[in-house]
Amino acid sequence: MTPTLLGRWQTRLVLFLVIVSPVTLVASWLLGKSGGLSAEPFGLAAAMLLTGLVFEAIAQQLQRFRWDQDWPFALFVGQAVCEFWVAFVAIRLDFVPGLEACDLARIDRVSRQIACVDYALPIGPAMVQAAVIIALSLVFVTGVAPVLFPRWRYRGGQFSGFHRRD
């Protein structure tokens, strides 16, 4: 069964609750200063979720050109990597409300422009967080969900209790 857009969104929200939230909580705790939680991993997760919801709508339209109207799982990983980079660049460009892109900025003496010296969300921890989320999501979608929710795939990716009864 080809996933429907509603099914893709439901699957993404279930993944967000089951996988992304706990991983983000751990990443936030590890990056937090003085025993607190850091807001940047939560911002990255939220930006990836919003980017993913938009990407799902685009992918739903693009897959109509494929003969079976479905994507192989290799494109699942490629799409997730693209979502990470779009979300990460949005954070670095200070497009995510409520998050500061830079912890420490200095004025360059030559160009007289402000340059960020210490980013609030370093690339290394962000990539590790995204890699763990992508890997666990792939395991969930290819292994856990079909076992725990056997009709999930045949309902277009919609979970029981949330699907339309026609």
152 CB neighbour count, 10 Å cutoff? 23
Q: Is 153 exposed, middle or buried (0-12, 13-18, 19+ CB in 10 A)?
A: middle
- E-only strand ranges, 26-142: 102-107, 114-119
pTM of the model as a whole: 0.83
* Residuewise pLDDT in 10s, the chain (166 residues): 567 888 889 889 999 999 999 999 999 999 887 778 888 899 999 999 999 999 989 988 887 777 666 667 778 888 999 999 999 999 888 888 888 788 777 777 777 777 776 788 889 999 999 999 999 999 998 888 888 888 777 777 787 665 555 5
Short-list 54, 47, 160, CA closest to 98: 47
